[in-house]
């Protein structure tokens, strides 16, 4: 937490930035704060003013809708992270073996968060520039079979352990194959992979978790095509197809679309087998192939 004294109310901050108050309220809400949050009292520092001034200047380069979308993305990601961090700080503060104060823990988290953010930002800035609208992307969905009925039977602590194991294991496997976890949606994880081979390797490794008893069985869908990456999320037909394939796959299997199937032809590491066309929401005849590891591969 900054040691700088608070000098501004929210209204004074808006005036200092020379913003229309209705316009500022829209951004306040987009960041995830209720209308009355921070409305009274001196809560903001000159450091806050300087940071927000830089953000506001971006309005000259971006239209208002793009600025609001960026604010929503920042607010949603930060709120989720802050909620988890607050839970951890409360647990640590209640532990008599922990000598750090709450403010010290907050400062440590802030430094760690900045460190991780900078490394990720440097990585993305150094990546080859790519037209987002034309990006050819391999998308995967992995979800837990029977999660709904399972969640009714498990105690909250058991359910939390299950989801934590699933998310952390999936994240490690996806990243190890050069991919990225886009998001975790309850019982499902959506990821991108650099190519079809890496995606298939990811699927094999994820299924291996279930055979080892670490997780319930999974079903996985993978598709490749033009996709839009926007504010950290991915949109487009391959996303829809991968999700439909995952929901149609039998327990413990992986289904891929035609593009991924073509990419894996000649890849001695995998066996690709066509299955009858699927009738799913949005696709009357969705052609699909089952992919397994070739047991005879070197």
Strand partners, 217: none
CB contact at 8 A, 222 and 254: yes
The answer for 186, left when phi > 0, alpha when psi is -120 to 50, beta otherwise, is left
How much is the pLDDT for 75? 86
Q: Which of 107, 126, 145 is the last residue of a domain?
A: 126
99 and 165 fall within a common domain: no
> Do 139 and 280 share a domain, yes or no?
yes
Average pLDDT, the chain: 87
Gap between the Cα atoms of 270 and 291, Å rounded = 7
Write down the pLDDT at residue 134.
Answer: 55
Which tens digit of pLDDT belongs to each residue from 3-44?
Answer: 566 778 888 888 888 888 887 888 888 888 766 555 566 778
CA dihedral 123, 128, 132, 134 (to 10 degrees): -150
Please state, as a whole number, how many other Cβ atoms lie within 10 Å of the Cβ of residue 52.
18
Torsion over CA: 77, 79, 83, 89 (sign):
positive
Residue 264 lies in a domain: yes
Domain count for the chain, please give it. Answer: 2
pLDDT of residue 170: 94
User: Is 137 in the same domain as 112?
Assistant: no
Q: Is residue 56 part of a domain?
A: yes
* pLDDT given at position 291: 96
* Domain that residue 197 falls in: 132-293
Q: Which of 75, 104, 126 is where one domain is finished?
A: 126
The list of the chain residues with pLDDT below 50 reads none
One domain for residues 175 and 86: no
CATH number assigned to the domain comprising residue 248 = 3.30.70.1230
- Is the domain of 69 the same as that of 154? no
Regarding whether 165 and 267 lie in a shared domain, the answer is yes
Q: Look at residue 16 and tell me if it is in a domain.
A: yes
- Say if residues 248 and 206 touch (Cβ distance below 8 Å): no
In the prediction, which pLDDT does 60 show? 61
What are the beta bridge partners of residue 292? Answer: 271
Convert the pLDDT of each residue in 164-186 to its tens digit.
Answer: 899 999 999 999 999 999 999 88
Instruction: Judge whether 274 lies within some domain.
Output: yes
Q: Where are the beta strands (DSSP E) in the chain?
A: 135-144, 180-185, 188-193, 218-230, 233-235, 254-256, 270-280, 283-293
The token pair that represents 109 in the structure block: 């988290």
Same domain? 196 vs 264: yes
In a domain, 298, yes or no: no
Residue 156 contacts residue 208 (beta carbons within 8 Å): no
Q: Which of 82, 97, 126 is the last residue of a domain?
A: 126
In this structure, the answer to whether residues 202 and 122 fall within a common structural domain is: no
């Amino acid at each position: 937490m900054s040691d700088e004294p608070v000098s501004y109310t929210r209204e004074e901050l808006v005036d200092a930035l020379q913003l229309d108050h209705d316009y500022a309220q829209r951004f306040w809400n987009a960041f995830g704060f209720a209308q009355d949050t921070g409305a009274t009292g001196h809560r903001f520092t000159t450091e806050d003013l300087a940071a927000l001034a830089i953000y506001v200047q971006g309005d000259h380069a971006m239209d208002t809708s793009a600025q609001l979308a960026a604010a929503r993305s920042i607010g949603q990601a930060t709120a989720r992270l802050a909620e988890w961090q607050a839970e951890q700080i409360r647990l640590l503060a209640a532990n008599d073996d922990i000598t750090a104060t709450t403010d010290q823990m907050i400062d440590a988290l802030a430094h760690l968060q900045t460190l991780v953010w900078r490394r990720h930002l440097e990585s993305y800035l150094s990546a080859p520039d790519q037209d987002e609208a034309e990006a050819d992307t391999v998308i995967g969905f992995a979800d837990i079979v029977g999660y709904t009925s399972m969640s009714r039977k498990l105690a909250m602590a058991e359910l939390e352990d299950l989801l934590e194991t699933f998310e952390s294991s999936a994240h490690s496997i996806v990243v190890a194959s050069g991919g990225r976890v886009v998001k975790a949606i309850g019982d499902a994880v959506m990821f991108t992979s650099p190519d079809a081979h890496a995606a298939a390797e990811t699927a094999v490794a994820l299924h291996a978790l279930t055979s080892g008893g670490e997780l319930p069985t999974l079903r996985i869908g993978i598709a490749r095509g033009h996709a839009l990456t926007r504010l950290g999320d991915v949109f487009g037909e391959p996303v829809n197809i991968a999700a439909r394939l995952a929901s149609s796959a039998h327990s413990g299997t992986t289904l891929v679309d035609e593009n991924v199937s073509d990419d894996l032809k000649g890849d001695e590491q995998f066996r690709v087998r066509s299955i009858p066309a699927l009738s799913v929401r949005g696709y009357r005849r969705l052609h699909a192939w089952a992919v397994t590891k070739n047991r005879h591969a070197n």
